[in-house]
Amino acid sequence: MEVGGVSNFCCSGSHSADLGAQYITATSSYAQSHHRFYSEPLSAGVLQPLDSLVEGLKYKDGNKDYMTPLGMGSMVKHFLSESGADLFFERHVTGLYRRGASWEVQWKAGGSEMFDAVVLTMPAPQILQLQGDVGHVLSVHQKQQLEGVEYSSRFAVALFFPPDSINGPGRGPSLVVHTSVPFGLKHLERDKEDVQPIILQELNKLLPGLPQPISIKCQKWRYSQVLTSVPDCPGHMTILHQPPLVCAGDSFVHSNFDGCVKSALSVLSVLKASL
């Protein structure tokens, strides 16, 4: 069990905490090759150097750690707002159908829309679950590569404390617990409501005397971090050239911020060439 990610920022008067990624580590090599993906959010105040000591972290020479005062989602929002793209959220994709020079994308809530190109960034096991033509256009080799991707699973619990319980007046602190990989595997098929008490019991042994939280949120990450990516970490996989259907995300690299940037850059080069 990892206890960390103590974050006490608030949104609209309520507490917030990241249940997924907690901080970003740039190796010296990525700090150079992905320089602008660090310098831009640093100057916008979205990213800040992490100055405090992270106990138990294996420090490597040249590595630099960063944190996001407004949560990890603020990094994503920063880059999306810079892109100028029109964004539509809460569209759960259930199927993709090839219609001439376009892709028809169907939503869980009903309805569909036509696209000139599609980039899928969900974990590889979820790409394989899509209905429609994805399975038909994947080559046998590509299907085997996607089937070979393995993720670890984790539970995360956030505890929110009242303002004056630990830090004195002001915003209340929060505390995030991540379970270990073996724990995630053992309890994967259980409901998070059943697993939360086990995690809290263990936490109270580790940190006896914790004040009573005012609220608790538990999250099950079935696809947490990539254990086995697509061989040679290509960053993306082109399933079809025309109309373009490209898969990307951490299944095709490694699970951290620089993995996401590497994947995004590789997709960009494919799309630029084909559109």
Helix, strand, coil percentages in the chain from 3-state DSSP, rounded to 5? 30, 25, 40
Least separation in angstroms between residue 168's CB and ligand FAD is 28
Least separation in angstroms between residue 49's CB and ligand FAD is 15
Interaction between residue 41 and ligand FAD (CB under 6 A):
no
- How many residues sit close enough to ligand FAD to count as binding (CB under 6 A)? 24
Interaction between residue 249 and ligand FAD (CB under 6 A):
yes
Least separation in angstroms between residue 263's CB and ligand FAD is 7
Dihedral of CA atoms 197, 4, 253, 36 in degrees, nearest 10, equals 140
Which is closer to ligand FAD, CB of 150 or CB of 164?
Answer: 150
SS3 per-residue string spanning 176-215:
EEECCHHHHHHHCCCCHHHHHHHHHHHHHHHCCCCCCCCE
Which is closer to ligand FAD, CB of 108 or CB of 211?
Answer: 108
Determine the Cα–Cα distance for residues 153 and 183; give it in Å rounded to an integer: 8
Residue nearest to ligand FAD (CB): 249
Residues 206-245 that bind ligand FAD (CB under 6 A): 221, 224-225
Which is closer to ligand FAD, CB of 240 or CB of 267?
Answer: 267
Interaction between residue 22 and ligand FAD (CB under 6 A):
yes
Which of 122, 200, 268, 271 forms a contact with ligand FAD (CB under 6 A)?
Answer: 122
Determine the Cα–Cα distance for residues 201 and 167; give it in Å rounded to an integer: 23
Determine the Cα–Cα distance for residues 116 and 125; give it in Å rounded to an integer: 24
SS3 111: coil
Least separation in angstroms between residue 163's CB and ligand FAD is 26
How many residues are listed for the chain in this entry? 275
For residue 259, what are its two tokens?
């993995």
Beta strands in the chain (DSSP E): 2-4, 9-11, 14-16, 24-26, 48-49, 64-67, 93-99, 102-107, 112-115, 118-120, 131-132, 150-151, 154-160, 174-178, 215-221, 226-228, 236-240, 245-248
Which of 16, 68, 106, 121 forms a contact with ligand FAD (CB under 6 A)?
Answer: 121
Residues 123-182 that bind ligand FAD (CB under 6 A): 123, 126, 154, 156, 178
Which of 217, 257, 261, 267 forms a contact with ligand FAD (CB under 6 A)?
Answer: 257
Binding residues (CB under 6 A) for ligand FAD: these are 20-24, 92-93, 121-123, 126, 154, 156, 178, 221, 224-225, 249-250, 255-257, 259-260
